[in-house]
Amino acid sequence: MDLHLSGSAATDLERQAVESILGPAEPDGSRVIRGGQLERERRHLLLPALHALQDTVGWISRGATDHLAERLSVAPAEIFGVASFYHLLATSPQPPLAVHVCDDVACLAAGAGELLRELEASGVEFERSPCLGQCEHGSAALVRRAGGEQDRIDAAVAPVTAGQVLGFLRGDAVPAPNPAPLGPPTELRALRRAVELGPEGVLAELARSRLVGRGGAAFSTARKWEAVARSPLQPHYVVCNADESEPGTFKDRHLLELEPFAVLEAMLICMLATGSRQGFVYIRDEYPVARARIASAIGALRADGRLGGDLDLELRRGAGAYVCGEETSLFNSLEGRRGEPRNRPPFPVERGLFGRPTVINNVETLVDVLRILTEGGESFASLGTPESAGTKLFCVSGAVQKPGVYDVEFGTTLRQLLDLAGGVRTGHRLQAMLLGGAAGMLVGPSRLDLPLTIEATREAGLTIGSGAVVVFDETADLGEVVLRIARFFREESCGQCVPCRVGTVRQEEALRRLFAGRPLGSREEELGRLRDVAQVMRDASICGLGQTAANAVQSALSGLLEGV
Ligand code: SF4
């Protein structure tokens, strides 16, 4: 295969970075002799290798791309296509230090607009970032500096002030929590119970629990596991989707940081039930502490002899792409390709990662399995409602007294949830809530008595989604919020299908004209155009991103922004 190299040479540092992932290069000519087959089989290491270059050098040069192309027998154009897909990888020279400051809806609701205005006024160069998953803090920055092991910085700072950001850019020390390595795992009670029950017993207990996925799609977990367990196609894989990127959502970060063994224990149970020997935890790269905790927990399980040999778990880093939360995009990302969603069927349980039957579950869903095994499926199902069994983690952020993660029974109302979070900030009143994140809907105070169940929200034309509830008081500019959501979808669209690629651009353009008081034709014509674009995106987009990109906009225009 002719790789069409650019002829640029990699530096020694770049070669070392690639070697840290791929190992030493084999003697010249071996690729030609074998036709590159063995190298291409290691393509799944492309994203880790790109991370190694980004971490060490700060960007991915042409020389490094050529070198990787030769090492993996993949054309440089394809490698560039992958590297340029992700926000956190650079394909042009960058200063070693980058500060990404969240300007997404939850931080805006908590008042971060002032911080951003101060930074803009100062004239410093900083990156505006979509949600960093630190929403309970009200403002957040991700600080990264490329370099050798000792010089490297990778830290989420939240809450953060404009003064701190200016200081980081001047070279001030960055408070980087360095979580201590974890000791040996505790007894892993649920795993022991799973071994006693055996695969069939685990599947039966799961079916009794009526657990459905907590990532937004609400599909039966038992059916998913069972489909993979019964598939004759081998091998089977288990993937933990920890690419929590829905704006306003941060519950999985808490679980990964605080209960890393629980996440891995649940994966081991899933592997036992489905006959899988290899699992992957795919964590969004904006979560450095979660990453460190999971890496440490995997190390502890290996040291303890519970992992190793042909039974293993591996941590993989995302690289800044909301769409990779979609399960088939995540598989592509793990395989070293652009994180573009695949057409379905086939479904992941039939042909998922590497074309093999795969269970992919969200972090919260997996952790729920532990309780189901230790307390029994029926006990879990006795909570909530028949269609929405058990409990659910909700992420409450924005203009509330006590933002945070709340574990409540399905059926709890929005009002009760807000009360748990201490209610709206003192001296302010509720204007609106964003339910389900950017892919969800904006609702007004009239919805406060809505029970939070899958069926009740569906009946009301809403969604629980990932469990995000972003609260806006009367000081929030909902027009700004809606525009931010429209920009979010325009920026995050992978561009693979026309309805979403063009629709998200047209949606944002029309909103900007409306808010500027310069509609194309009349205001009604512009609103009609927005409705048409929304309909086309919903009906004709390949994946959930395009299908939900107009939800929040339409819900705001039909109720909360009538005066626009
Ligand atoms: Fe990509 Fe959007 Fe199409 Fe999904 S809907 S495949 S994100 S272009």
What is the per-residue pLDDT across 387-441, written as a single tens digit (0 to 9) for each? Answer: 999 999 999 999 999 999 999 999 999 999 999 999 999 999 999 999 999 999 9
| 270 three-class SS | helix
Mutate to test the pocket of ligand 1, among 332, 333, 500 (most ligand atoms within 8 A of CB): 500
304-324 burial code (b ≥16 CB/10 A, e <16): eebbeeeeebebbbbbbbbbb
- Is the model's pLDDT at 561 over the cut of 80? no
- What is the CA(543)–ligand 1 centre distance, in A? 5
500 lines ligand 1 (CB under 6 A): yes
Pocket test for ligand 1, best of 245, 493, 538 (most atoms within 8 A of CB): 493
Pocket perturbation via mutation, ligand 1, pick of 492, 496, 508, 547 by most ligand atoms within 8 A of CB = 496
Q: Atom of ligand 1 at shortest distance to CA of 543?
A: 4
Among protein residues, the one with the nearest Cα to ligand 1's atom 1 is 494
Structure tokens at 272: 């036992």
Q: Is the dihedral of CA 529, 533, 539, 540 positive or negative?
A: positive
Instruction: Using the mean position of ligand 1's atoms as its centre, give its distance from the Cα of residue 333 in Å.
Output: 15
Question: If pLDDT is split at 50, 70 and 90, which confidence band does 558 have?
Answer: confident
Q: Kindly state the percentage of the chain with pLDDT values over 90.
A: 90
542 lines ligand 1 (CB under 6 A): yes
pLDDT in tens, 274-319: 999 999 999 999 999 999 999 999 999 999 999 988 999 999 999 9
495 Cβ closer than 6 Å to some ligand 1 atom: yes
Residue percentage of the chain with pLDDT more than 70 = 97
3-state secondary structure labels for all residues of 322-341: HHHHCHHHHHHHHCCCCCCC
Q: Is the pLDDT of residue 559 over 90?
A: no
pLDDT at residue 560 in the model: 74
- Helices 260-274 & 363-375 angle (0-180, nearest 10): 80
Instruction: Give 388 Cα–ligand 1 centroid separation in angstroms.
Output: 29
Give the mutation target among 337, 498, 536, 543 for probing the ligand 1 site: most ligand atoms within 8 A of CB: 543
What is the atom index within ligand 1 of the atom nearest the CA of 494?
1
pLDDT(29) > 60: no
Over the stretch 337-360, which tens digit does the pLDDT of each residue have?
Answer: 999 999 999 999 999 999 999 999
- Return all residues near 380 (Cβ < 8 A) that are at least 6 apart: 209, 210, 211, 368, 371, 372, 389, 390
Q: What is the 340 CA–ligand 1 centroid distance (Å)?
A: 7
Q: Which atom of ligand 1 is nearest to the CA of 501?
A: 8
**Which uninterrupted H or E stretch holds 475?**
none
Predicted confidence (pLDDT) at residue 38 exceeds the cutoff of 80: no
**Mean pLDDT confidence for 214-231:** 95
Q: How many residues does the chain have?
A: 564
d(CA 555, CA 442): 6
**Tokens for 160?**
């953060």
Tokens standing for residue 393? 């983690």
| Helix residue spans in 239-362 (DSSP H) | 251-258, 260-274, 288-303, 327-334
Burial class (CB in 10 A: 0-12, 13-18, 19+), 171: exposed
3-state SS assignment for residue 252: helix
Mutate to test the pocket of ligand 1, among 246, 324, 332, 494 (most ligand atoms within 8 A of CB): 494
Give the pLDDT band of residue 563 (cuts 50, 70, 90): low
- pLDDT, residue 7, reads 82
Which segments of 112-215 does DSSP mark as H helices, in order? 113-122, 162-170, 189-209
How many whole angstroms from 332 Cα to the centroid of ligand 1? 14
Please, what is the Cα angle at 414 between 398 and 437, to 5 degrees?
50
Q: Where are the alpha helices (DSSP H) in 382-464?
A: 414-420, 454-459
Question: First vs last Cα of the chain: how many Å apart?
Answer: 57
Which ligand 1 atom is the nearest neighbour of the CA of 547? Answer: 5
Helix 12-22 vs helix 46-57: crossing angle, to nearest 10: 140
Name which residue sits closest to atom 5 of ligand 1, judged by CA: 546
What distance lies between CA 27 and its chain's CA centroid? 39
Task: Give burial (CB, 10 Å; 0-12/13-18/19+) of 554.
Answer: buried
Which is nearest to 308 in space by CA: 267, 278, 265?
278
Could you check whether the bond before residue 445 is cis, i.e. omega within 30 degrees of 0? no
Phi, psi of 490 (to 5 degrees): -60, -40
Residue 132 is encoded by which pair of tokens? 């960093």
Does residue 235 have a cis bond before it (omega within 30 degrees)?
yes
pLDDT of residue 63: 97
Angle at 407 between CA 404 and CA 409, to 5 degrees: 140
CA distance 360 to 161: 38
The torsion angle over the Cα atoms of residues 398, 404, 406 and 410, rounded to 10 degrees, is: 30
Q: Is 553 touching ligand 1 by the criterion CB < 6 Å?
A: no
43-63: pLDDT as tens digits: 999 999 999 999 999 999 999
Among protein residues, the one with the nearest Cα to ligand 1's atom 4 is 543
CB 33 within 8 A of CB 25: no
93 pLDDT band, cuts 50/70/90, is very high
Instruction: Evaluate if residue 101 carries a pLDDT over 70.
Output: yes
**Of 432, 430, 423, the residue nearest 402 (C-alpha):** 423
Cα of 495 vs centre of ligand 1, distance in Å, is: 6
Q: Is 501 in the pocket of ligand 1 (CB under 6 A)?
A: yes
pLDDT at 8: 87
> How many CB atoms within 10 Å of residue 498?
13
Residue 106 Cα to ligand 1 middle (Å): 24
Query: Is the separation of the CB atoms in 227 and 345 below 8 Å?
Result: no
341 Cβ inside 6 Å of ligand 1: yes
Q: Which of 246, 329, 497, 498 should be mutated for ligand 1, with most atoms under 8 A from CB?
A: 497
Q: pLDDT tens digits, residue range 444-488? A: 999 999 999 999 999 999 999 999 999 999 999 999 999 999 999
**Does 541 contact ligand 1 (Cβ within 6 A)?**
yes
pLDDT digits (tens, 9 = 90+) for 149-194: 889 999 999 999 999 999 999 999 999 777 778 888 888 999 999 9
CB atoms within 10 A of CB 37: 10
Closest of 218, 155, 245 to residue 456, by C-alpha? 218
Instruction: Tell me the pLDDT tens digit for each residue of 530-552.
Output: 999 999 999 999 999 999 999 99
* Ligand 1 midpoint to CA 463 (Å): 20
Cα of 33 to ligand 1 centre, how many Å?
A: 39
